[in-house]
């Protein structure tokens, strides 16, 4: 069973002037159930608009709760489905969820081309095979994607949108905007 | 004084450039505008030769008068070649107008960074950024100056324009203290400046700790209230801002 606060997701920024435009990262937990997320919305917009988009995504994700890993992921996607149309129609959402309860960890994503898990300290390996249902096109999915277990044990995950490469381990924290 | 009054009758503009240059050299206090106007109309290549050519007499009066014909001069020489040459020929008196005109005409040009350093020294970037504050290339220009280490120019430009991009550019190159000064200057000038969005886009998805460090620079209640409206998912910043706002008159 993952320790409280152990499950975490990150998503690298896109190199450029505004690497983290539209990026969000967060988590919720209650008792043995926890969910973490990292994602981006409207990342190619100018910072003002991307910030609005990120705030909208934070608004809906702030409501997420659940009774187990399947339930909390289903509720998270339901919350994402309530995003204002303005943001849904952009079809550029990239979002990774990792949810845990005492029975294990599940992953679910939209707009993510690769997910890696930290299987050993600093050792990142693929959490899913290519062709996995985890990997979908960007955008708010019409139906909640089917959650997938990670191929390898671990509690920290990186979701890579199609236009972002896996950072080198020494650059990982800064590349993902993790500052503390 | 016929040539200086703009009458080019009987002058072969390509073959007799020396005549034109001599006229400029001997002009004294006589305005050069009419001659340059006439040359710009008749033959921009001759104009460029007189103003920027290897035999040009140079001087602030000539260069300042030529700035109104910048487009014609650039048609004859490349902008990248013309502006450093104008700067060299115009001397200190014409330097800032030359830089400002170049910046207005080519706000996104990377060569303005070196030109700015030459003209403005430790305030490099101020004229360029002030001149192009409303241009789409403004953010990139800020980034170029930040990468060149033009810290003071960026801080001053932030205050002059009220824009957040200089602070964001300084944050992007790790100049944290300078970023704070630029952010404060921007908010003093324009309290509604979109500082939160721009700094977050550089910093990362969890900007709460960053903003907590910025908030002590706030001096205007209007700026604090504008920032507060962005902090609904930033609990530490929201709490601190509520305290700050309550303490402000």
Task: State residue B4's pLDDT score.
Answer: 85
Closest chain B residue by Cα to residue A175: B204
* Tens-digit pLDDT profile for residues A47-105: 999 999 999 999 999 999 999 999 999 999 999 999 999 999 999 999 999 999 999 99
pLDDT band with cut points at 50, 70 and 90 for residue B8: confident
pLDDT at A108: 98
When the pLDDT of each residue in chain B is averaged and rounded to a whole number, the result is 92
Residue B165 has pLDDT above 70, yes or no: yes
Q: Which helix (H) or strand (E) holds A106?
A: strand A104-110
Are B86 and B66 in contact, with CB atoms under 8 Å apart? yes
**Is the pLDDT confidence value at B29 over 90?**
no
**pLDDT at residue B104 is higher than 70:** yes
pLDDT of residue B30: 87
Within a domain: A114: yes
- The pLDDT value given to residue A149: 94
| Overall domain count for chain A | 1
Global ipTM:
0.94
The CATH number assigned to the domain holding A53 equals 3.60.40.10
Q: Would you say residue A172 has pLDDT above 60?
A: yes
Length of chain A: 180
- Residue range B40-94, pLDDT digits in tens: 998 999 999 999 999 999 999 999 999 999 999 998 888 888 999 999 999 999 9
A2 within a domain of the structure (yes/no): no
Q: Confirm or reject contact between B19 and chain A (CB < 8 A).
A: no
User: Contacts of residue A21 in chain B, CB cutoff 8 Å?
Assistant: 201
CA angle A19, A23, A26 (to 5 degrees): 140
Residue B1: band (very low, low, confident or very high) from pLDDT cuts 50, 70, 90 = low
Mean pLDDT to the nearest integer, A173-179: 94
* Structure-token pair, residue B172: 């992007």
Is the minimum CB–CB distance between A177 and chain B shorter than 8 Å?
A: yes
- Within 8 A of B204 by CB-CB distance, chain A residues are 13, 20, 23, 25, 176-179
Check: CB of residue A115 under 8 Å from CB of residue A109: yes
Cα of A120 to nearest chain B Cα, Å: 25
Q: How confident is the model at residue B155 (pLDDT cuts 50, 70, 90)?
A: very high
The single residue listed with the structure tokens 């964001």 is: B168
Establish if A105 belongs to a structural domain. Answer: yes
Instruction: Assess if residue A3 is contained within a domain.
Output: no
Whether residue B206 lies within 8 A of chain A, CB to CB, comes out as yes
Residue B161 has pLDDT above 70, yes or no: yes
Partner B contacted by A70 (CB < 8 A): no
| Residue-wise DSSP of A30-68 | ETTEEEEEEEESSTTS-HHHHHHHHHHHHHHHTT---SS
State the pairing for strand pair A156-160/A8-10.
parallel
Domain presence at residue A125: yes
**Residues of the domain holding A143:** 8-175
Residue A159 lies in a domain: yes
Among B187, B226, B234, which Cα is nearest to B210's? Answer: B234
Q: Say yes or no: B200 contacts chain A, CB-CB below 8 A.
A: yes
pLDDT recorded at residue A32? 93
Cβ(B107)–Cβ(B157) under 8 Å? Answer: no
Least confident range of A8-22, A120-134, B8-22, B160-174: B8-22
Q: Is residue A72 part of a domain?
A: yes
Q: What is the pLDDT of residue B144?
A: 96
Point out the least confidently predicted range of A161-165, B8-12, B81-85, B202-206. Answer: B8-12
The C-alpha atoms of residue B100 and residue A26 are separated, in whole angstroms, by 46
């Amino acid at each position: 069973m993952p320790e409280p606060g152990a499950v975490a997701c990150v998503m690298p920024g896109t190199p450029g002037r505004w690497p983290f435009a539209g990026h969000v990262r967060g988590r919720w937990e209650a008792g043995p159930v926890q969910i973490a997320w990292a994602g981006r919305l409207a990342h190619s917009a100018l910072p003002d608009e991307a910030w609005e988009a990120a705030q909208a995504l934070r608004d809906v994700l702030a409501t997420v709760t659940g009774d187990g890993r399947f339930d909390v992921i289903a509720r998270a996607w339901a919350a994402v489905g309530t995003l204002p149309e303005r943001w849904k129609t952009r079809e550029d959402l990239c979002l990774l969820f990792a949810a845990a309860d005492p029975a294990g960890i599940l992953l679910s994503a939209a707009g993510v081309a690769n997910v890696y898990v930290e299987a050993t300290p600093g050792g990142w390996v693929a959490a899913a095979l290519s062709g996995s249902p985890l990997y979908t096109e960007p955008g708010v999915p019409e139906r909640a994607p089917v959650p997938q277990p990670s191929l390898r044990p671990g509690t920290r995950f990186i979701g890579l949108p199609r236009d972002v490469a896996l950072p080198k381990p020494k650059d990982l924290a800064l590349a993902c905007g993790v500052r503390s | 004084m016929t040539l200086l009054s703009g009458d080019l009758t009987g002058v072969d503009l390509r073959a007799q450039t020396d005549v034109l240059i001599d006229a400029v050299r001997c002009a004294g206090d006589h305005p050069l505008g009419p001659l340059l106007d006439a040359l710009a109309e008749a033959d921009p290549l001759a104009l460029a030769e007189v103003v920027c050519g290897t035999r040009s007499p140079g001087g602030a009066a000539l260069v300042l008068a030529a700035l109104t014909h910048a487009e014609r001069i650039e048609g004859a020489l490349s902008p990248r070649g013309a502006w450093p040459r104008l700067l060299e020929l115009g001397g200190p008196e014409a330097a800032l107008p030359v830089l400002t005109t170049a910046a207005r005409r080519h706000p996104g040009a990377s060569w303005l960074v070196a030109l700015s350093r030459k003209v403005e020294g430790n305030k490099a970037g101020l004229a360029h950024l002030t001149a192009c504050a409303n241009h789409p290339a403004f953010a990139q220009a800020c980034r170029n100056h930040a990468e060149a280490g033009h810290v003071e120019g960026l801080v001053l430009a932030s205050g002059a324009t009220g824009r957040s991009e200089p602070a964001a550019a300084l944050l992007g190159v790790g100049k944290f203290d300078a970023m704070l000064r630029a952010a404060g200057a921007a908010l003093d000038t324009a309290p509604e400046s979109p500082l939160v969005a721009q700094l977050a886009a550089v910093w990362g998805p969890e900007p709460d700790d960053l903003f907590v460090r910025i908030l002590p620079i706030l001096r205007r209640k209007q700026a604090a209230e504008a920032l507060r409206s962005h902090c609904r998912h930033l609990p530490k910043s929201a709490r601190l801002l509520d305290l700050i706002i309550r303490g402000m008159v």
